[in-house]
Amino acid sequence: MVEGRSKQAFKTWLSEREEAWRNRVEVVAMDGFTGFKTATTEELPEAVAVMDPFHVVRLAGDALDQCRRRVQQAIHGHRGRKSDPLYSARRTLHTGTGLLTDKQRQCLEDLFAADEHVEVEATWGIYQRMITAYREPDRPRAAS
């Protein structure tokens, strides 16, 4: 953790580390802020910059929400309302398949039975595969 959210703050912190320490760094996990990636590239050219799992899953969840809202708007011409199936399922869509209750499973089955929700179903499937991959303890299996 480095105080300050800027390329320069991170670059300064990295440059203050001993060269032997910097040479041992192989991977730098970070959020999607491009300043951190640029600082890493400049100060640790041999290290690989990766986005940490929390932020990857969060971005995937954001994409799922954007898809759900877009489909909601296209179908109904308005933002989600309490009685709209896509709106009422918004939290359930973010629940891992292994954690779904019977009621939540049925909610999703009913939601995905409608052809007009196919985009949401496809996006949800990708989101679920990402969550499953990060939860998989066998790294080669998770990567496949």
Q: 2-58, pLDDT tens digit by residue?
A: 778 899 999 999 999 999 999 999 999 999 899 999 999 999 999 999 999 999 999
Structure-token match 């998770």, residue found: 142
Residue 115 reports pLDDT greater than 90: yes
Phi and psi at 47, nearest 5°, equal -80, 155
In degrees, rounded to 5, the angle at the alpha carbon of residue 42 between the alpha carbons of residues 37 and 48 is: 50
Residues 6+ apart with CB under 8 A from 58: none
Which pLDDT value is given to residue 143? Answer: 81
Tokens representing 126 are 């990708």
Amino acid sitting at position 40: T
Give bridge partners of residue 28 from the DSSP assignment: 49
pLDDT tens digits, 85-110: 999 999 999 999 999 999 999 999 99
Q: For the beta carbon of residue 127, count every other beta carbon within 10 angstroms.
A: 20
Question: Can you tell me whether residue 44 is helix, strand or coil?
Answer: coil
Which pLDDT value is given to residue 32? Answer: 87
DSSP 125-143: HHHHHHHHHHH-SSHHHHH
Residue 142 pLDDT level (bands cut at 50, 70, 90): confident
44 within 8 A of 25, measured Cβ to Cβ? yes
Residue 139 pLDDT level (bands cut at 50, 70, 90): confident
94 within 8 A of 20, measured Cβ to Cβ? no
Residue 136 pLDDT level (bands cut at 50, 70, 90): confident
Q: How far apart are CA 17 and CA 15, in angstroms?
A: 5
Residue 1 reports pLDDT greater than 80: no
* Whether this model's pTM surpasses 0.85: no
